[in-house]
Chains A and B, each alone.
Chain A
Amino acid sequence: MGMGRFVEIKERLKMENEPRERIDPRARIVWAITGTIWAIVFILLASAFAVWVLNSPDLPSWVAWVAIILAIAYIPWGIILAPWLRLKFWRYEIREKEIEIQHGIFIIKRHLIPMVRVQHVDTEHGPIMRYFGLATLYISTAATRFPIPALPKEKAEELRGEISALARISDEDV
């Protein structure tokens, strides 16, 4: 009974007809590194805040501990859980007439961009992405811009050419 209920909930939370392609699994490492940097920043900030709270006589000491606990709780979230969930949900599919993108951690978003609306495609890579030979592909319409992160560099270039051709964008007309 309990197990059946669990399976039912899991079944309901699933996304159906997910786009076919996944991004590079190394994205998880990239996000984990970013998460580590943030974790360090949060712990430093929380420690500074805690020292300030403990030294001022008016404030109760539990405020300091709450800040410390929150910062420590970010470690498993930012380094393990969030990158894992994000990678799990990141999907894309490039069809002849449209692009479909899915992403999210809690709120799963799915975008549909017709090829004829694509105005330009460009690639970008930050320092960590570049170290792993990864790049982010940006797809822009006249009103919106969508990233597909962590694609192997060659793959990103290939997709850029493919989308440009399908969308009939000339490279000069950007």
Chain B
Amino acid sequence: MVFDTFRSLPSQIALAFVLSISFASSSLITMPLAFLGIFIGFLAITFLFSAIRWSFFYYSYEPGKIHIRQGIFYKQERTIKSERIQSINVYTNILQRAFGLATLQIKTAGGTAEPEINLRALTMDDIERIKAELIGKDTSDEEEEERYSSRNLEGRDLWLAGATSGRFTILFSVLAVIASQLFPYIPESYIEYALEEIVSFPIVLLVSILLILLFLSWVISAISFMIQYARFNVKRYEDRLELRWGILRQNHVTVALHRIQALVVQEGLIRQPLGLCSLLIEVAGGGMEEKEQTSILFPMLRMSDLGGFVEEILPEYIISSTATALPKRSLSRYMIRALIPTVIFIVLLLAAGEIWGIPYTGLSVILVIPAVVLAYSRYKDGMTAIDVDQLTIRYRYVNRYSVLVKRNHIQSLSVMANPIQRYSSLRSIRVAVLSSPAGKNFTIKDVDKSEADRIWQWYSLYE
């Protein structure tokens, strides 16, 4: 099955293209044929290399373990026992699907140099068989009988999710890459000419060009988000979550329930006013890659539906209704914390404007307004709640986050107070949870001392 060589076709073509540009830059215009030759040559070499590598890759499996042998010169052998396996995921891209193939990714508990192995170019039948041997049960038969609840992101919601994803930068990063590649080949006189022209443009035109580019970038980012998360589906079985998403690259991720350490509700700046949020999970163990993907539980959800969703998919967690807000006296601390860096920045800018005669630096005073607004909403959004064995903390940095964590998933609890906080009976609270690759802290500042004591006692009474 040399189809394996096609798996990374786009990246290989791109690599060959970049390499041949660098090697044949002078001939790109004068001798297009030479350029083409080098391009095809590089492509052939990468194909050949992939094919050779594929032919040296062997695997075998038996109940409870899988064995892998690979390498052309440097041979590598590895046996993975099923109790070491953290998760088994399946990915397919468009080329693999054309040939009915998929990638099986086996993630093991950290500690080893390679936390995951990838078996590329397997047929779906093979994958089912391997999974059955490793997990010890025939998943294909049982799947129909097993009870589960399921949620999809589809239709209009997918559009909405893309449009509110808060991603704007894709077009700009693509333009930057193209510019950095082409820059050496543009004659200097062209650049000078272009710069002069741009400076002489009326400012209204420049601003509207920028706005149009921003709009285009937003549209492209939205579409790419939609392609990435199309057909998003989450299924909750008794002991695990199964997540599936994507068209071009299809993902199938299994998360064992006991690995979930915290549930995070993220309300982005664009989503929050529309009453939308996204759900993330902190997952223990597994490799460092794909982290971002495995931690998305649902790309977009209505806040009004949040309670229903959690009850269906993760009923272990509760959307709290007994929140304790921050005390009034912490507002001034939030204000000071946001204003000090802003004022320093403005003063520096004004000083620089004075010294070097830069116009319009006076306008930077306006920055005080967003700083005050942000400080006030950080204060207003701060909240803590205890529900039986669950702690909820809500805080804002820019986006608003609600973190739901079970007592037995908190690795350690810290309460901090500087002299001013001690004087006004305020405390900062930090909760450490396990999350790949390392731990993760969630902090809320300037909580009332009595509330901090309550949380401390709640955690301390454990067992």
Q: Is the CB of B423 within 8 A of A142?
A: no
Which residues of B sit under 8 angstroms from A12, Cβ to Cβ? 422-423, 425
Instruction: Say yes or no for A147: interface residue by CB 8 A criterion.
Output: no
Whether A98 contacts B460 in the complex (CB less than 8 A), given A109-B416, A110-B416, A143-B412, comes out as yes
- Contact indicator per residue, chain A 102-128, by CB within 8 Å of chain B (1) or not (0): 001011111111101100000000000
A168 CB within 8 Å of chain B:
no
User: How long is the Cα–Cα vector from A7 to B438 in the complex, in angstroms?
Assistant: 45
B440 on the A face (CB < 8 A):
yes
B412 touches A113 (CB 8 A): yes
CB of B446, distance to nearest CB on chain A (Å): 13
Query: Restricting to A1-19, which residues have a CB under 8 Å from any CB of B?
Result: 9, 12-15
B419 in the interface (beta carbon within 8 A) = yes
Interface contact B423-A112, CB-CB below 8 Å: no
In the bound complex, residues from chain B placing their C-beta under 8 Å from that of A106 are 418-419
Instruction: Say yes or no: A143-B423 contact (C-beta < 8 A), given A109-B416, A112-B413.
Output: no
Cα–Cα distance between A104 and B434 once the two chains are bound (Å): 25
Q: Give the size range of B's interface with the partner.
A: 20 to 34
Q: Among residues 417 to 463 in chain B, which have CB atoms less than 8 Å away from a CB atom of chain A?
A: 417-419, 422-423, 425, 432-435, 438-440, 456, 459-460, 462-463
Identity of the chain B residue whose Cβ is nearest the Cβ of A104 in the assembled complex: B416
User: A109 to chain B: which residues have CB within 8 Å?
Assistant: 414-416
A141, CB-defined interface residue at 8 Å:
yes
List the A side residues contacting B150 at CB < 8 Å: none
Q: Is the CB of B413 within 8 A of A13?
A: no
Q: Tell me if B169 counts as interface (CB < 8 A to partner A).
A: no
- Are A144 and B415 also in contact (CB < 8 A) when A13-B423, A112-B456, A116-B463 are? no
Interface size on A, residues (CB 8 A): 24
In the assembled complex, A62 has its CB within 8 A of some CB on chain B? no
Evaluate contact between B439 and A13: CB separation under 8 angstroms: no
Residues of B close to A132: CB separation below 8 A: none
Nearest CB to that of B417 among chain A residues? Answer: A108
Report yes or no: A111 in contact with B414, Cβ–Cβ below 8 A: yes
Asked if A97 contacts B432 (CB within 8 A), the reply is: no
Residues of B contacting A13 in the complex (Cβ-Cβ under 8 angstroms): 419, 422-423
Q: Specify which chain B residues have a CB less than 8 angstroms from the CB of A77 in the assembled complex.
A: none
Contact call B416/A143, Cβ cutoff below 8 A: no
Chain A residues lying within 8 Å of B383, measured Cβ to Cβ, are none
**Cβ-defined partner of B439 (8 Å) among A107, A108, A116, A142:** A142
In the bound complex, what is the Cα–Cα distance between A117 and B462 (angstroms)? 11
A111/B463 in contact, CB under 8 A: no
B411 within 8 A of A: yes
Q: List 7 A-B contacts (CB under 8 A).
A: A98-B460, A106-B418, A108-B418, A109-B414, A141-B412, A144-B432, A144-B439
Report, nearest first, the 7 A-B pairs whose CB atoms are least far apart.
Answer: A143-B439, A141-B411, A143-B411, A107-B418, A142-B434, A144-B432, A143-B432
Question: Other CB < 8 Å A-B pairs besides A15-B422, A112-B459, A117-B411, 14 of them?
Answer: A12-B422, A14-B422, A97-B462, A108-B417, A108-B418, A109-B414, A112-B412, A113-B412, A114-B412, A114-B459, A114-B462, A142-B284, A143-B434, A144-B432
